Structures are given as C-alpha cells and as structure tokens.
Amino acid sequence: MNALLHQIFSGLAMGGVYAILALALVMIYQATQLVNFAQGEMAMFSTYIAWELVDSGMPYWAAFALTIALSFIGGMAIERLVIRPFANAPVLTIVIVFIGLLLIFNSVAGWRYSYTIKTFDSPFPGRPWFGNKYMSAHESGAILVTFAVLALVYAFFRFTPLGLAMRAAAQNPVSSRLVGIRVGRMLAIGWGLAAAIGAVAGMMAAPVVYLDPNMMSGILLYAFAGAVLGGIDNPWGAALGGFMVGVFENLAGAYVVGPEIKLSVALVIIVGVLVVRPSGLFGRTLVTRV
Amino acid sequence: MESAIEKPSAIRVAPIEAAAPQRWRALAFGLFGVVALGLPFVASGYHLFQFSQVLIYAIALLGLNLLTGYNGQISLGHGAFYAIGGYASAILINKFGVPYGATIPVAGLVCFGAGFLFGLPALRLGGLYLALATFALAVATPQLLNFKGFDAWTGGSQGLQLGKPHAPLGLPLTPDQWLYFLCLAVAALMFWAAINLVRGRVGRAIVAIRDHPIAAETMGVNISFTKAMCFGISALYAGVAGALGSIVVGFVSPDSFGLFLSLSFLVGIVVGGLASISGVLFGALFIEFVPNYSDQLSDLFGESAKALPGAIYGALLIGLMYVAPTGVAGAIRTATALLTRLSQRTKRG
C-alpha cells in the first residue's frame, strides 16, 4: 500500500511537469490550431540557460525569474522571425518548420553545453515537507509550482485586459482586429508565454531526469498525451490530463509494463484518445462545414 | 464531423507540365544508369557500402514520399516501419535460418500489414493529429524494440548480429559489390513500381485525396480504403528498405532506430522534393553523406561536431520551406523549363 501511494504521489509530481508543458502547448494551439513540436526542446534550452546562470553564482530564484523573462523574449522572437512568414502555409509546411526548430534547439544545446549529462539542483532541498513520507521535498515543491503557474495563468486570462484581448484574438481574429486588438502582437505574446511556461516545466523536470539535450523528448510525449487526453483546446482539461498521464504512466511503469517501455504508454494514450474521442475528455467537438 | 478531420491541405508541389522534355529525361536516365552500374568497379569498400546505404534510404524515402508528398498524410514515424522491416529480416535470418534474399519480401509484407493497421486509426486523424501520433511512434520505437518480453527474438539492447552474405553462383564479386547490386536491383524494382503506381488510376486517386478529399469522394474515390492502402504501401517500402539495411549493415540494435532516423527521412523528402520520384535520390544522398562529412569535421570542431548534422538538418528544413518548398527536384524542373524556353527562343530568333 505504501509503495502504491508512493508511486501515485511521485506520478503526481511528474504529472505537474506534464501539466505545465501541456498548458504551453494549448497556449499556442488555441491561437493557431497548431501543435508546437519544438516546445520540449525550447524548454530544454531554457533549462540550460537557468543552469548556466546558477552555475555563474546567481541565486536560484533570481536565475529562475531571469530564465522565464529570457524565454518569454525568445519565444516572441521565434514567432516573429520564424513562424510568422508561414502564417498561411499548409499544415505540412508548418510541421516541417517545427521539426526544424526542434533539431536546431537540440543541436545548439549539444554544441554549446555538450552532450554530457549534468545535474541540476532542486530549489527545494532537504527533508520532506509537512511530514509527508510519500513525497520528497522536490516533488511537493514541483506540485506547488504547478498550482502557482496554473493560478497565475488563470488570473492573467480572467482578470487582465491583455488576457482578455488575447482570448479574443484567439477566438475571432477578424472581429478582434476590427475592435483594435493587434492580433499579430497577441500571437507573439502567446508564443512568449508558452516559452516562459515551458521553461518552468523544464526547470522542475531537470532535477528528476537530469539535464541533457534529449531530456525533454519523453516529457514532451507525455505532455502531448496529457493535452490530447484532456482536450487540446481546453487549458484546464489539458493540465488535468497532464496530471492523469503522470500518475497513469508511473503506475503502468511500476506494475504493468515495466519502466523500460513506459513511453509506449504515451503512444497508446495518444492513439487511443484520438481514435475513440478526438476532442479529449473536456474538449469541444468541432464541427466542420463541408 | 469530428474536429480531427482536416481542411483540404494542398501542399506546394511543382506543376507536372513543367517536367523536362523526353530527350533530356532519357539522357539523365542513361547517365544515371551508367553511373549506378559502373560505381562498384570504381568505388571500393566503405564507399560502396555508403552507396548501398543511399539506395536503401532512397527506397524508404520513396515510401514516405508516396504517403506524405503524394497522399498528404504526414508521417514523422517512418523509422518505426524501417525498424520493423530490419528486425523482421534479422530475426528470420538469425533465428530461423531463412536465406537472406527471401526475408526481403517477407519483411515488406509484415510492414505492409503493420502500416495498414496503423493507417486504419490514422484515417480519423487529419494533418496535425497524424503527425502527433506518428511522432509518438517514432519516440517510442527504441524502447519497444528493447522490451524484455521480446528479448529471446530481438536480442534486447545487444541487438542481432548477421553474417555478411557472399555473391551466389560463383559470381566474381566481392561481398560489398554483390550487396550493392542487390540493393540496386531491389531499388530499380521499387522505383519502377512506384512510377507505375503514381501514373495510374490509383496514383491519381491518391493525389486527388491530398488536393481535395471531398471532390475526390464525389468522383467515386474510396477515401478510407485508398488512404489505408497508401499507408500500407508506404510502410512496405520502408520495410523493404529496413530489411536491406540490416542485411547490408549486418547488425540491428534498438539505438539505430531512434527519432533522429525518422526525422532524417522527413529531411530527405523535403530536400529531394515533396511528391517527386527522382527527388528521393537527392534526398537519400543528402541524409547519407551530410552526417558523414560532418563527422569528418570533428577535427575542426572537436566534440561539438556531433551537433552539426542536426543543426544543418534543422536550418535546411526551415530554409527550404522559405525559399524552395519543392526541393531539389523542383529546382531542377524549374531550371530545365527555363532552359527549354531559352533554347526555343534562340531557335526562333
């Protein structure tokens, strides 16, 4: 029983990481109906920046904040420079561009920081919190950070004029432009936010999976699974999906398929959900007019 | 209709009427034939092995191009079918003592089945979602090949070792030369089949589905059957290539079939030109030799040369989408069209 609870709780902690990354995916999906295949590698690159800052002697939380700010700027720059010219291109073209971004980030990280695995310290060291014997301090902290990110994102979209403008631009670009919202800028901010949120996911995952250029490929897959499971056009569904995938993956890895082929769990979830219920648990079913 | 059904996604391909005139095409074909047949007597050892590998990649790229370029279904996971083909062939040779030549069609058929089955759910996933599912397939493949339950057959992370076959019937060829000719023969057969497929009624249906699924259905094309079939055929090509690959390399292991392989295939068809048969040869040359040459640059760059192929691939994918979405084949078509027009003008003047 203890072992089972332990598995569930550490699944929740990793699920938080998937939830944050799934949220980043949804952020871009809602505005452009595209899934960013480079999201994981962007997060990985942000994590390396954080590592470099901490390594140069900066206190952790300062590095954390600076990394998020840099990632935001980087995400906006990518949207402006790389993605914008393909705004009206067919799906295949854009998928190819995303794959190009993925390869570039991966190899630039390998070139700049080498392929050797690095350790990344957790900001939550020491003994477990609240006498919770099932979770390490980092796991509790990661879940806390996840909830903080979710609350901030919710507050941003619910209570700020900019958040409202972004929602409007995503929902109806033409009318938004007519009432004076700069839709292009909203898209760029959306990419910036996605990159910043992804950076948090990377920094929470790195103490667990260690830092190397390929650290996010598995995590991105689980985030995909979470987003698809919860409904890729619903941020809260996607976040919940991320948590569910985390727990499910951990239990399956411990008791059903063994840890060596855990990734196929994500494959099964993605294909299964897309076949049985493409809109996910909480997504809207889109109706296309032919 | 469900959300997963995509809008008609026309991809940018060069118009067919821009094709080179018959005479030039015959010339290019003849030249290619001479080079391909003469190569084993000029190049030797390792270089010949590399050219065998180019032919193998060309077969796999041809399959992927049938699916992605002609039919418009995005696959980021064709490395998985290449792996299935490679393992099918290796297991048959290593565990059951089947002659290696006979394993190639078997591997192709196994992959056809696997592709057809994967293609059935893929019918409901348009564009982006299919890319997602196949991406997941590509990432999960090495882990699945490593699965302990199959260890007795697949050899686990150790992989399987195969002997190098010798030329049959006492032909005076070295093993490398013989393997090259085997690859060349299989590739010629597969290209011939693909050209006939694309030019025929089925080929037109495949392209029609890409360009306008609703109109295609109105014209009586059975969309689901054609799409699943196309997925199966495409996987068959990848499987045949995988089987040849394991015979030529003489070794299979899970690590050689990772995400990078699948993405290399994508790079190959984009560089060569989407929806182009001859383009896949350029794509195959590219994905075989670029990683190789960047390895040689490691003196210059040190350890970071490992990152070079990925960086080149990534920059090229994005750059080509900007400037030449039709790839090398498209560029050649444009160039020959331009030349013919120029020569006609000089004749007239």
Q: For B175-223, how does the pLDDT look when each residue is reduced to its tens digit (9 = 90+)?
A: 888 888 889 999 999 999 999 998 888 889 989 988 888 888 888 888 8
Average pLDDT, chain B: 82
Domain boundaries, given as residue ranges, for chain A = 2-215+252-259
* Cβ burial A82-99 (10 Å sphere, 16+ → b, else e): bbeebeebbbbbbbbbbb
Contacts with A229 from chain B: Cβ below 8 Å: none
Considering A44-53, B89-98, B251-260, the range whose residues carry the highest mean pLDDT is: A44-53
Query: For B43-163+174-348, which CATH class?
Result: mainly alpha
Residue in A with minimal Cα distance to B263: A99
- CA of A149: how far to CAs of A21, A23, A239, B91, B215, in Å? 11, 10, 11, 49, 46
Does the pLDDT at position B333 exceed 90? no
pLDDT for B301: 65
Dist. CA A231–CA B263, nearest whole Å: 27
- Report the alpha-carbon distance of residue B270 to residue B80 in Å, rounded: 19
Q: How confident is the model at residue B304 (pLDDT cuts 50, 70, 90)?
A: low
Residue A44 has pLDDT above 90, yes or no: yes
The Cα A180–Cα A122 span in angstroms is 44
Mean pLDDT of A182-210: 91
- How confident is the model at residue B5, as a pLDDT? 39
Q: What is the pLDDT of residue A288?
A: 61
- Which residues 67-86 of B are in CB contact (within 8 Å) with A? 68, 72, 74, 76
Reported in sequence order, the residue ranges of B13-129 that DSSP labels E, i.e. its strands, are none
Distance CA A263, CA B125 (A): 21
Do the bridges between strand B160-161 and strand B251-252 make them parallel or antiparallel, or are there none, so unpaired? Answer: antiparallel
Tell the residue number behind the tokens 């030797």, with chain if given: B44
Q: B332: distance to nearest CA of chain A, Å?
A: 21
CB A46 within 8 A of CB A202: yes
**Is B125 near chain A, with CB under 8 Å?**
yes
Q: Does B127 touch chain A (CB under 8 A)?
A: yes
Contacts B259 to A, Cβ<8 Å:
217
pLDDT in tens, A220-271: 999 999 998 988 888 889 999 999 999 988 888 888 777 777 888 888 888 8
Task: Give the position of tokens 């295939």.
Answer: B265
Give the pLDDT score at B2: 37
pTM listed for this prediction: 0.86
Which chain A residue has its CA at the smallest distance from B325's CA? A93
Question: Quick one: tokens of A290?
Answer: 């032919």
Name the nearest CA neighbour of B306 among A215, A38, A110. Answer: A110
Q: What is the pLDDT of residues B9-24, one digit of tens each?
A: 445 554 444 455 677 7
ipTM, two decimals, is: 0.86
Residue A31 tokens, joined: 């505005």
Q: Are A283 and B321 within 8 A, CB to CB?
A: no
Q: How confident is the model at residue A152 (pLDDT cuts 50, 70, 90)?
A: very high
Q: Is B300 helix (H, G, I), strand (E, B) or coil?
A: helix
Task: State pLDDT tens for residues A53-86.
Answer: 999 988 999 999 999 999 999 999 999 999 888 8
Model pLDDT, residue B305: 66
Sequence-separated contacts (24+) of B16-24 with Cβ below 8 Å: B18/B333, B18/B334, B18/B337, B19/B333, B20/B332, B20/B333, B20/B336, B20/B337, B20/B340, B21/B336, B21/B340, B24/B336
Answer for the pair A20, A149: CB distance below 8 angstroms, yes or no.
Answer: yes
> Does residue B263 or residue A2 have the better pLDDT?
B263
Q: Are A225 and B144 an interchain contact pair (Cβ–Cβ within 8 Å)?
A: no
How far away is chain A from the Cα of B313, in angstroms, using its nearest Cα?
A: 7
Nearest residue of A to residue B8, measured between CA atoms: A90
- Chain A positions in Cβ-Cβ contact with residue B318 (cut-off 8 Å): 82, 96-97, 100-101, 104
> What's the average model confidence in pLDDT over B228-242?
93
Contact B64, B269 (CB under 8 A): yes
For B200-252, where are the alpha helices, taking DSSP H only? 201-211, 213-218, 223-249
How high is the mean pLDDT of chain A?
A: 87
What residues in B contact A116, CB-CB < 8 Å? Answer: none
Q: Looking at the complex, does the CB of residue B151 fall below 8 Å from at least one CB of chain A?
A: no
